[in-house]
């Protein structure tokens, strides 16, 4: 029985299955997902959550020494490409059995860049589960006060905030509240510094449990695979995501006829405060998929903090890193070369081995771990979605056959994902390169190596 659900990877299957929904094919999501529970706020992404995931691939065939020798013959010339810089590592494993099929420097520590999001995804899914939703709530305070409480959903949309304001206005009317209302906002769910080590940056907002649309101020520069979408890619960010969200909420309440007294200020909800209204994020499965498809840093840091909260750790950079590390170790992954510093991979202090990343993917493919399946279904598809949308031209080798998480920092290029061989064998791979000087050339070299795994060894056009 195949170890993977929802992975119809042949080129014809990808083009025929359409249409795309949040980076994933609806047909694929339907096959891979159990029905999500109803409810929740309006959000940009779909509402389905993978539960137990039925297999849709033909049975994966075994390999053996002959197969491993063939991988070495195909990969070694490609990995010697000077575009991959001064140092590189690679690992390929059978995703069904976990058998190591190829490795060079596979146990060494490298800067993983955004491929560390695979680790964040596996950690949060293992401890929280795919069905959990993150709530933003409004509770009553003393007198006629109300408190907007951030739960950690960075994807809350203006429409979702409007739904929350509408429900709050109805609740206040039902309680007989007719006078002025004092609004406060509560961000106590998170602790520690709010700024990432890279500072205020168009790649990530200050990390707050209360924000709207990831703190984006409107307008976006087009990142790789973003398609110019204002909801993804680098963009100007507010320095005060929580205060801005509270001000927008106050304005929405006034539009609903609620007389809000002055500007909202930071406060704290009482432990037994009556809940007036709430909205919920898409399920964690959908958040994981969106994070991986678009390499979304804000979602990554939010999911790392959800891991911390579920593990009894402080929801800070440090607490999240500890919690993610513990969950990965509990999955039986090789941790000797791993150091988790953040959830997104923006921190250059992150370390991971190629073997570790390949085995994270293999864990997600295990039949006994259906909760981890979004790690696979969220991977960008070569030539079709997310950060691989523009990396494989129409007639490129590996197009639609490679599914992988990209990683890019100055001097660092990484790629980790899955391919299905012509014989039906599912492989998980990770390629890590440091000391690169030409990101475009390095990406093409990594893409050629991934294509070779799929049995399509010719180079992409224009490379």
Question: Is 281 part of the annotated catalytic residue set?
Answer: no
385 is catalytic: no
Q: Is 256 assigned a catalytic role?
A: no
> Look-up: residue for tokens 């960010």?
237
Out of 114, 278, 285, 316, which one is annotated catalytic? 114
Distance CA 428, CA 92 (A): 6
Residue with tokens 């999501």: 29
Active-site residue among 2, 67, 117, 316?
117
Cβ atoms 194, 208 nearer than 8 A: yes
Question: Rounded to 10 degrees, what is the CA torsion of 216, 220, 223, 229?
Answer: 90
Contact (CB, 8 A) for 92 and 429: yes
Peptide bond into 213 cis (omega under 30): no
**How many CB atoms lie under 10 A from the CB of residue 71?**
20
Helix or strand holding residue 252 (H, E): helix 241-255
Reported as half-sphere exposure (CB side, CA atoms, 13 A), residue 174 has a value of 10
Structure tokens at 392: 């494989």
Whose CA is closest to 238, among 264, 219, 266, 221? 219
Which one, of 108, 78, 118, 91, lies nearest residue 407 by Cα?
A: 118
Edge-to-edge strands of the sheet including 100-104? 100-104, 87-94, 426-434, 412-420, 402-409
Name the β-bridge partners of 87: 434
The catalytically annotated residue of 2, 126, 226, 295 is 295
Residues catalogued as catalytic: 114, 117, 295
């Amino acid at each position: 029985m195949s170890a993977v659900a929802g992975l119809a990877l042949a080129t014809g299957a990808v083009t025929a299955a359409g249409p795309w929904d949040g980076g994933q094919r609806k047909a694929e999501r339907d096959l891979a997902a159990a029905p999500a529970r109803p409810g929740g706020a309006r959000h940009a992404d779909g509402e389905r959550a993978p539960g137990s995931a039925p297999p849709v691939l033909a049975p994966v065939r075994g390999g053996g020494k002959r197969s491993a020798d063939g991988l070495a013959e195909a990969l070694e010339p490609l990995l010697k490409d000077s575009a991959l810089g001064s140092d590189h590592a690679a690992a390929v494993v059978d995703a069904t059995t976990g058998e190591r099929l190829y490795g060079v420097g596979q146990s060494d520590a490298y800067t993983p860049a955004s491929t560390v999001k695979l680790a964040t995804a596996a950690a949060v899914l293992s401890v929280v589960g795919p069905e959990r939703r993150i709530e933003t709530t409004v509770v009553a305070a003393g007198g006629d006060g109300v408190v907007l409480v951030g739960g950690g959903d960075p994807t809350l949309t203006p429409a979702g905030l409007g739904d929350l304001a509408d429900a709050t206005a109805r609740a206040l009317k039902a309680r007989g509240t007719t006078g002025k209302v004092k609004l406060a906002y509560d961000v106590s769910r998170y602790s520690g510094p709010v700024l990432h080590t890279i500072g205020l940056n168009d790649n990530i907002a200050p990390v707050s449990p209360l924000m709207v649309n990831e703190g984006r101020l409107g307008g976006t520069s087009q990142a790789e695979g973003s398609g110019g979408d204002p909801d993804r890619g680098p963009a100007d960010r507010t320095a005060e995501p929580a205060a801005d969200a509270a001000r927008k909420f106050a304005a929405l309440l006034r539009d609903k006829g609620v007389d809000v007294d002055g500007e909202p200020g930071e406060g704290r909800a009482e432990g037994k405060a009556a809940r007036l209204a709430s909205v919920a994020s898409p399920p964690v499965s959908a958040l994981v998929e969106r994070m991986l498809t678009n390499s979304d840093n804000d979602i990554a840091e939010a999911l790392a903090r959800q891991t911390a909260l579920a593990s009894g750790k402080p929801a800070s950079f440090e607490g999240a890193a500890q919690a993610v590390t513990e969950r990965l170790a509990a999955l039986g992954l090789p941790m000797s070369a791993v150091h988790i510093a953040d959830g997104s991979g923006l921190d250059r202090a992150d370390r991971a081995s190629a073997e570790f990343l390949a085995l994270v993917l293999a864990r997600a493919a295990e039949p006994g771990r259906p909760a981890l399946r979004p790690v696979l279904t969220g991977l960008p598809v070569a030539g079709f979605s997310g950060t691989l949308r523009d990396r494989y031209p129409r007639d490129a080798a590996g197009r639609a056959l490679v599914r992988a998480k990209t990683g890019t920092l100055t001097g660092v290029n990484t790629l980790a994902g899955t391919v299905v061989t012509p014989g039906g064998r599912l492989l998980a791979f990770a390629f890590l390169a440091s000391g690169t000087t030409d990101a475009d050339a390095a990406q093409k070299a990594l893409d050629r190596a991934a294509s070779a795994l799929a049995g399509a060894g010719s180079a992409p056009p224009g490379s």
